[in-house]
Amino acid sequence: MKLIAGNSNRPLAEGIAQYLKSPLAESTIRHFADDEIFVEILENVRGQDVFVIQSTSKPVNDYLMELLITIDALKRGSARRITACIPYFGYARQDRKSGPRTPISAKLVADILTTAGANRVLTLDLHAGQIQGFFNIPVDNLFATPLFQKDIHDHFPKEDFLVVSPDVGGVVRARSLAKRLSCGLAVIDKRREKPGVSEVMNVIGEVKGLHCLITDDIVDSAGTVCNAAAALMEAGATSVRAYVTHGVFSPPALERINTSPLEEVVITDSILATDEVKKCTKIRQIPLAPLFGEAIDRINHEKSVSILFD
């Protein structure tokens, strides 16, 4: 087995390598003067089971090209099997036609990865489960819910919780966490009565006197989660925290979080945290290295990965 790290999240790749007690393979990824990307694998990979660890986070297109070129280099180096380990799968929110003459970019990325030479994909909390069907190769979509469950039990063992979905589309994810915590479920119903009028946030469910946990897959500009937190506090919630898998944090996300009623936003390290994110006292990260390390080990030894969902 060989582990190769891209440039998007080197600390996570090093954590996975440490968990597996397998050093990262030597490789070079650099840019020419015109920003063309060059990749060279400095170790023999012939007949090896290779895992390329690369989140396609900002700058998305650069890191995606790094991943594709690395896969091509491994294919031409006669690797036996190439697994693209993509903790954060960019373009996942473009999973359907949003209007006439618009792309389904998630499908395009799936096709490109397969054409480049990936034999399987390992990822975490895809924005939409049906994206797995965009691939004609095996896809293992891990879930952060078990990690969130453990963190909640470790940090807040005696509090009465209610899990909240910030929109109707996230109900399945929220229900899964609520079932694990044996607690209730509420949903935020967002609606805009007419163009130019701010959204109205209606809370479906009884939240008064409860500690609310908003759960979602992505926090980008943080508008949805912060507005949901404000609506929950207005409805009588005791406190509001958020558990979100991927912390994108596009401006002005951090400013919104700092001025919101949110007590804490817990994310995974699927995306490398910027210095600004690290300085935000309301944000805390859960490491993914054990989860991905165990999944990689199971794939390498042809064992079941579904046990990690339990």
Residues in Cβ contact with 169 at an 8 Å cutoff, skipping those fewer than 6 apart: none
pLDDT tier, 291 (very low <50, low <70, confident <90, very high otherwise): very high
Q: What is the pLDDT of residue 169?
A: 86
* Structure token digits, residue 183: 């607690």
Confidence of residue 276 (pLDDT cuts 50, 70, 90): very high
pLDDT at 198 over 60: no
For CATH 3.40.50.2020, the residue range(s) in the chain are 2-143+290-309, 145-286
Q: How far lies 134's CA from each of 110, 254, 305, in Å?
A: 6, 33, 20
- Output the six-digit token pair for 139: 């896809």
In the prediction, which pLDDT does 62 show? 97
Instruction: Say which amino acid occupies 245.
Output: T
pLDDT of the residue at 48: 97
CATH number given to 145-286: 3.40.50.2020
Number of residues written out for the chain: 310
Percentage, residues of the chain above pLDDT 90: 90
pLDDT mean across residues, the chain? 94
Q: Which CATH number, 3.40.50.2020, 3.40.640.10, 3.40.190.10, 3.40.50.10490, labels domain 2-143+290-309? A: 3.40.50.2020
Share of the chain above pLDDT 70, in %: 97
Residue-wise pLDDT for 162-176, tens only, equals: 999 998 889 999 999
pLDDT at 278: 96
pLDDT band at 226 (very low <50, low <70, confident <90, very high): very high
Structure tokens belonging to residue 126: 């895809």
- What tens digit of pLDDT does each residue of 82-92 get? 999 999 999 99
Tokens of 40: 């060279």
The shares of helix, strand and coil residues in the chain, as percent rounded to the nearest 5, are 35, 25, 40
Catalytic residue ranges = 190
Q: Is the pLDDT of residue 152 over 70?
A: yes
Cα first-last separation, the chain: 26
Residue 156 clears pLDDT 90, i.e. is over it = no
CA distance 310 to 301: 20
